[in-house]
Chains A and B, each alone.
Chain A
Amino acid sequence: MNLDELQRRFAASVCGTREPGDFDTRGMRVYANNYRGQLVTTLRDIHAKTRLWLGDETFDIQAERYVDAHAPSSWTIDAYGHAFPDMLEAAYPKDPDVSELAWLDGALHQVFGGADAQAIDATALVADDWERIEFVFVPSVRFRRMRSNAVAIWKALAEETMPPASVELKAMGGVRVWRRGLSPQFASMEAHECDCLDLALTGATFGEICQLLGRWHGPGSVAAEAGTLLRAWVGDGLLLRLRQG
C-alpha cells in the first residue's frame, strides 16, 4: 500500500467511516478514541453554557452526533463546531433557546482572538452629508436574530443564578457580539436594531437606515431613534469609522 492510500484508509478508520481492517485494531482504537474524545471536549469547552443548559448527558449525545457528521478541516481546533448551533436547531425545532445559546457560546469564543481595532468615540461622528454616510464596524461584530430568551438564560448561567424558563419572544429580537479591548461583549437587540445592523453591515447608508427606522417608528421619530441607535453603537465600541458612500 502506498503512503497516499495508507493515509486515506487510516483517516477513514480514525473517523469511523471505515473498518480498521488494514491496521492493528487495538492501536486504531486508541487513535479513534483520541479523535472523538478531543472533538467532544472541544465542543464542551466552546459551548459551556449550552452544556449546562442541556445537561452533560444530553449535550454529549448531541456532540457525538455532530462529530459523526462533521469531520474537522481547519488547522485550528477552535474553528470546530461552527455548524453545531444549526444541528441543534434541527434537533430541537420547538426549543430555539438551545441553538441560540450555542450560537452565543460560539460567537463569544470566536471574537476572543479576533482582529484588534480601535473603535471611534462620539467626537468622530462628524460628516458633511449624513445621508450618504456608511458605517464601518470593528471586525469582531456579528449578530443573530433570536426567537427565545436565550440571552437572559446565558447571563443567568454565567452568573450561576437560577436561569429563567425558556420562553419564545413575542417579537423576535436579537443579540450582537463584539470585542471591546480584550473582552468579548454581547447585548440584546430589539427587532428594529437587528434590521438596522443587518442593513448597516451590508453597506447601507445612514439615509437608508433612517428610511427603515421611519417604517418601524413613523417619520416623526426617525431622528430620535437614529440618534439612540448611533449613541448605542458608538458607546458600545462597535464603530471603526464613518465612510462617505
Chain B
Amino acid sequence: MATGLLPEYVMPSQSLPAFHGFGLGLRVPHYADFIATQQPVDFVEVISENFMVDGGRPLDIIDRVRERYRVALHGVSMNLGSVDEVDIDYLRRLRALARRVDPLWISDHVSWTGVDGFNSHDLLPLPYTEEALDTLAANVAIAQDVLGRALVLENPSTYLAFADSMMTEAAFLSALCERTGCYLLLDVNNIYVSATNHGLSPDDWLDGLPLERVRQVHLAGHSQGRDMLIDTHDAPVPDPVWQLYARFASRLGHVATMIERDDHIPPLGELLAELQRAREIATSATRRAA
C-alpha cells in the first residue's frame, strides 16, 4: 500500500499559475490541421501516453504542435488511487515528455486503473473514505515529487457508488487539494453523468469545492446506456451540459476551458464551433458576475 510511505506529504514548491484560454483536445484526425495552420485556440491538450514513446512520428508531431501552441498533458494511466504504489518508471517517462513540451500543466484523474500490476485502461471509481484519501494523497505526493510540479486532477464519471463512502465527491476533492497542494480539472460532462447516474443534483456539485484550485474545465458529450449515462466523449456537448457549464461559469471565473472529444471525431470546424459557444457562454457569465 502506498499509505504511509512518506513521513509527510511533500507539497509542491511552486504554485501553478492560472491560464485563461480556450482549447481543444488534439486528436489524430486533426494533427495535420493544427500543424499546417494556426488554429483559433489558446492551447491544446494531448493524451500524455500517446507521446511517452522513445521516438518516431509521435515526438515529431508533438514538437511541431508545440511550435504553434501551448500544450497541456493529460494522462489516463497514472493509477493514483490504487493501493499499488505509483509506477516510477511511468513518471520518469512523463517527466521526460514534460521537459520536452514544457506543458501548461500535467493532469490525470481521481481514480485508479488497476491493482497488482493489472491495468484495466479504464478510470475506476474510488470510495470516498479516509483510507482511499490517504492512499490517493500519498500517490499524488510521490507523483508531484518525481514530476517536480503540482498535478491537476480530474473528476471521473462514475457508474456505481460505494456503501462505505463517508463524504461527497466535492469534499473528497477538497481534502485532496488541501493535503497535497494539487489543483483540479473539472469535467462538467462527468459531473452531469455521475450526478444523473447517482440521482444527485449536479448544481450542488461545486458547493464546498475550493474553486480557486480549478485550473481547467472539460466539456464533452455522453450517451445513454442501457441503465445509465455513459461518458463516451463521442458526441457534441449536449444541452444539459452546456446549461450546467453556463451556471458554473460565473462561479469559476476565468479558467482554461476545452472541448474533449475522444471518439467519432468530427471535422475540426465542428469542434471549433463548439469552442466558440464555450467562449460566448464564459464571456457572458463573467460579464454577469462582474
Contact = CB atoms under 8 A, between A and B. Distances in A.
B140 to A, nearest CB: 15
B161 interface: yes
Contacts of A3: 1, 83, 127, 129, 131-132, 135
A75 B90 contact: yes
A114 interface: yes
Interface residues of A, number: 41
B166 interface: no
B115 A14 contact: no
B55 A116 contact: yes
Given A3-B135, A27-B228, A115 B122 contact: no
B164 interface: yes
Given A74-B119, A76-B77, A14 B54 contact: no
A94 interface: no
Contacts of B116: 8, 11
Contacts of A8: 115-116
Most central of A28, A71, A113, A116 by chain B CB within 10 Å: A113
A24 to B, nearest CB: 4
Contact of B122 (A1, A38, A182): A38
Interface string B59-89: 1100000000000000001010011000100
Given A2-B131, A3-B135, A113 B53 contact: yes
Contact of A112 (B57, B121, B132): B57
Interface residues of B, number: 45
Interface string A107-147: 00001111111000000000000000000000100000000
Nearest to A12: B118
A239 interface: no
Main secondary structure of the interface of B (DSSP, over half): loop
B83 A4 contact: yes
Contacts of B118: 11, 15, 71-73
A10 B56 CA distance: 37
Interface in A135-162: 139
B289 to A, nearest CB: 37
A77 to B, nearest CB: 5
Contacts of B58: 112-113
Nearest to B114: A11
B237 interface: no
Nearest to A41: B263
B159 A31 contact: yes
B239 interface: no
A111 B57 CA distance: 10
Interface in B72-115: 77, 79, 82-83, 87, 90, 112, 114-115
A209 interface: no
Interface string B129-166: 10110010000000000000000000000111110100
B274 interface: no
Nearest to B229: A30
B63 to A, nearest CB: 12
Contacts of B226: 29
B52 interface: yes
Contacts of B122: 14, 31, 34-35, 38
A92 interface: no
Interface string A161-186: 00000000000000000010010000
A10 B124 contact: yes
A28 B124 CA distance: 10
B204 interface: no
A48 interface: no
- A-B pairs, 9 with minimum CB distance: A27-B160, A113-B53, A116-B55, A27-B159, A115-B54, A24-B160, A30-B159, A26-B227, A7-B115
Interface of B: 1, 49, 52-60, 77, 79, 82-83, 87, 90, 112, 114-122, 124, 127, 129, 131-132, 135, 158-162, 164, 197, 225-228, 230
Given A7-B124, A76-B52, A115-B55, 12 more contacts: A3-B83, A3-B131, A4-B115, A8-B116, A14-B122, A26-B227, A31-B159, A76-B49, A112-B57, A113-B57, A117-B55, A182-B60
26 contacts: A4-B83, A4-B115, A6-B127, A6-B162, A7-B82, A7-B83, A11-B118, A14-B124, A26-B160, A29-B227, A30-B230, A31-B120, A31-B122, A35-B120, A35-B121, A38-B121, A39-B121, A71-B118, A75-B49, A80-B121, A112-B56, A112-B58, A113-B53, A113-B56, A113-B59, A116-B56
Interface of A: 1-4, 6-8, 10-11, 14-15, 23-24, 26-31, 34-35, 38-39, 71-77, 80, 111-117, 139, 179, 182
